[in-house]
Amino acid sequence: MVELPELILASGSPRRSEILTSVGWSFTKHPADIDETEREGELPADYVRRLAIEKAEAVADVYPGSIVLGADTTVVIDDMIIAKPVDLDDARRMLRLLSGRWHEVLTGVAVVREGDTLSDIQRTRVRFAEMSEAEINHLAMRGDPLDKAGAYAVQAQAALFIEGIDGDYWNVVGLPVKLVYDMVLKRPGI
């Protein structure tokens, strides 16, 4: 029998909570309050790793002795970070960029235990079909894009337009749970 130790989830993401719940992982949710501004010249992988670490370490101060999980996900196309849209027009702009193309979903994951921090990154490639303006508008209006990196949820309306996924599906949803499992239970040194 595998025992999953209780986690403190340093995230307010409903999708991360749903993923952990679906695999039977007990956790307490404590969203971190950090500045998520990109730094000038920061590469996307460095950005998501930094945010995951900052979230986990900020919350670990409140829960000494606990295992704290931080994560941050972003969408990258043409080496450009596509964060959460600011409004529906911005969501439509993002969806136009993604239409008919491959892009990458990056999630930085950090685990803090007893003052030690371990971090890693999961990369998954996703391809959208060519979308008409009507389809882009449908996805923007019905897909609840404003709290999602890249303005879409792969497990909801966007599934109508996804042609391919190369890598970890759960990473695209919002948490590469196999990576979390490995980091918490299988990696020495933490």
Q: Show the tokens assigned to 177.
A: 């749970």
Burial 134-158 (b: 16+ CB within 10 A, else e): ebbebbbeebebeebbbbbbbbebb
CA distances from 95 to 75, 80, 102, 112 (A): 11, 14, 12, 35
Per the CB < 8 A criterion, the answer to whether 45 and 37 are in contact is no
In eight-state DSSP terms, residue 143 is S
Q: Respond yes or no: is residue 72 known to be catalytic.
A: yes
Grouping H, G, I as helix, E, B as strand and the rest as coil, residue 69 is strand
Task: State the catalytic residue, choosing from 46, 72, 116, 120.
Answer: 72
CA distances from 50 to 18, 34, 44, 53, 175 (A): 24, 11, 10, 5, 16
User: Would you name the residues annotated as active-site residues?
Assistant: 72
